[in-house]
Each structure stands twice: as structure tokens, then as C-alpha cells.
Amino acid sequence: MDSLLSVKDLQVQFQTKKGFITSVDGISFSVKRGEILGIVGESGCGKSVTSLSILQLLASNGKISRGSICLEGKDLLTLSEHEMCGIRGNEISMIFQDPMTALNPTLTIGTQLMEPLMLHQGYSKKEAWKEAVEVLKKVGIAAPEKRMKEYPHQLSGGMRQRVMIAMAVSCAPKLLIADEPTTALDVTIQAQILELMLDLRQKMNTAIILITHDMGVVAETADHILVLYAGKVVEYGSVKEIFNTPRHPYTQGLLHSIPPLGEDVDELHTIEGTVPAPGQMPEGCRFSPRCPCARERCKKEQPGVYHVGDAQVSCFMYEGDQDDK
């Protein structure tokens, strides 16, 4: 598999009344064709900002101040807005976190599904209608002709999420970004949505970036995991490596917070404290105020990225253990 997307040293800043604050700071990763990359971390760690940066859909007060985002070797940050419009929904699609706000409440499902097909694929209205019905069938929506004429509020949460997926895959994108696609859905619908995404990967060789806080979902679906904390990468490696040998104390904390199956649990493990707000980052390692292993050095210096096994870890504990790479 060759590399499809390569993100290097990405830094994202937002303008506030107090000046620019950094939300994402020096993130690097790559995604191969047909690969699923899971991006995990607590709320406020920079997961959604990273995904929106790829499509250049940041809020008006946001800017990408450093780095590169290359799709098949082409740096997206050098493209004009008109050129990016040809990328969005065509080569890279996104499933947003809340389908009720992502779908236009004043337009029918059919109108919203047909638009990308006519815009990117050059379909006529009749052709787009036929293709949209077929895509709805593929994502498991019954009576698709009827649903095409309905509005978002007339559908259940699970059906709206399926419509979002149908819109995202209608143009057979090379990369699909799914921002917590199963949030607020019941367990049965969650399983169906994830199975649908895996099926798309298998049939279309679509690469997927799966953003989630659910480590169980990542274990079931992803090939590699990127663990973010306070806008920085703390660990990056294969699912097998990170689940079998989690090295960073933050990754260990996330995994320990998962209740074991088949055991009675009186109290869930938690990571003490909260994620620091952008603009209020600690001087050294950003996890040091919450880290049970923190030393004086951790509070004053930021650790580098160390290669250990098949993973990359940003923690001083592994400074002398890294492999020569």
C-alpha cells in the first residue's frame, strides 16, 4: 500500500481577543490506501480541528500557520478555494459528528444527495436521482425512493447518519474522514454503521480516518492509532503495538479506563485532572500535571519523539530506549 495522505508538522492557530492561541501543535501522520487510522483522545485534544484542517474547513478565525497536508503528493495548502471545492466531497469526504446540524433542514434528502453527484460527476438530474437511490440502498435504507422526498427531521438518528455516509461515499472518495460517526447512536446502530464503513473500505479500497474517544471501536476497526493530547501527538503506532504495549502514561490511562468484560467493577479508572485549555498550556510536557510518572524535567522541558518498537512515543521515559531508525 502506498501513502495516500501525508500530514507533516501541522500547526493550527485561532485568533482570540488575547491574540493567537495554538490548538494543534506539530502533528505528523500518514494514511495509506485502504487503511483505517484511528485518532483518539479526550475532548479538546485537537481531533476535530485536525480533520477540519485537512479539508480547510476551519472557522473564520482559524488558520494553518505551519506544515503541509499532501494528498497523493499534492500539497492541499497550496490550492485555491476553487481547487479545494473539487477535492471536498470528491476525493476527500467527511462524515460530521452531528447529522442533524450537518444536513440542511430546508432541503429534501434527495436534493442534498444529488448535489455532489451533479457537481463532481457531471450527472444529469435524472442520472443523479437514480444513483442517489442506489447509494441509499447500499447504506441499508429501506424504501429509498420515499426517503429521497423526505426532510432530515422526518428520519431517525441512525437513518440520518446513514444518509451522511451515503453523501460522503457517493463520489467514491479516496479518503473518508469520520468524526465520531457513532456518537449518540444506540449500540445496535453503532455496530451497523461501523460494519458499513468496513464494507466500504473492502469494496472501494477507501482509506478512513476514524476520530473517536471509544477505544473499543478503534480496536475493532483501525490499523493504526494516533493518540493526541492537548494538540500534540503522544503516541503513534499499529493497533497491535499500542493495545498490547501502551507506553505513554496517557495511552495507558485511556486503556485502563475501559471496564474489563466479564468482571464486576466497583469503580472505573479515571485520569485525574482535565485537558489544559489552548493558551494555558504547561511549560514542559503537556501531560505532566496529570501524569503519575512525571519528574521535574517533565515540568520544564517538552519531550521529543522517540521510536520504540513499531511505535513513536513522546515521553522522556523512552529517551534511551529508542531504536535506530
Q: Quote the CA–CA distance of 218 and 210 in Å, as a whole number.
A: 8
Average pLDDT over residues 230-253: 95
Residue 1 has pLDDT above 70, yes or no: no
Residue 157 has pLDDT above 90, yes or no: no
Measure Cα distances from 59 to 13, 203, 258, 291 in Å: 11, 34, 34, 32
How much is the pTM? Answer: 0.90
- Name the nearest CA neighbour of 238 among 252, 249, 227: 227
State which of 181-185, 194-198, 319-323 shows the largest mean pLDDT: 194-198
| Residue 249 near residue 314 (C-beta atoms within 8 A) | no
pLDDT tens, position by position, 266-312: 777 788 899 998 888 999 999 999 999 999 999 999 999 999 988 99
Average pLDDT over residues 161-171: 87
Strand partners, 232: 229
Q: In this predicted structure, what is the pLDDT of residue 322?
A: 59
Q: In this predicted structure, what is the pLDDT of residue 325?
A: 47
Average pLDDT over residues 316-321: 84
Q: In this predicted structure, what is the pLDDT of residue 319?
A: 85
190 vs 4, residue with greater confidence: 4
Residue type, 108: T
Give me the sheet containing 19-32, strands edge to edge: 19-32, 3-16, 62-71, 74-75
Residue 81 has pLDDT above 50, yes or no: yes
Measure Cα distances from 317 to 233, 248, 306, 312 in Å: 16, 9, 10, 13
Q: In this predicted structure, what is the pLDDT of residue 321?
A: 66
Q: Which three cell numbers stand for residue 261?
A: 468484560
Residue 17 has pLDDT above 50, yes or no: yes
Q: Quote the CA–CA distance of 209 and 10 in Å, as a whole number.
A: 16
Q: In this predicted structure, what is the pLDDT of residue 96?
A: 83
Residue 18 pLDDT grade (very low, low, confident, very high; cuts 50, 70, 90): confident
Average pLDDT over residues 219-237: 95
- Name the nearest CA neighbour of 23 among 62, 57, 51: 62
Task: Identify the H or E element spanning 238.
Answer: strand 232-238
Q: What is the mean pLDDT of the chain?
A: 90
The dihedral sign for the CA sequence 313, 317, 319, 320: negative
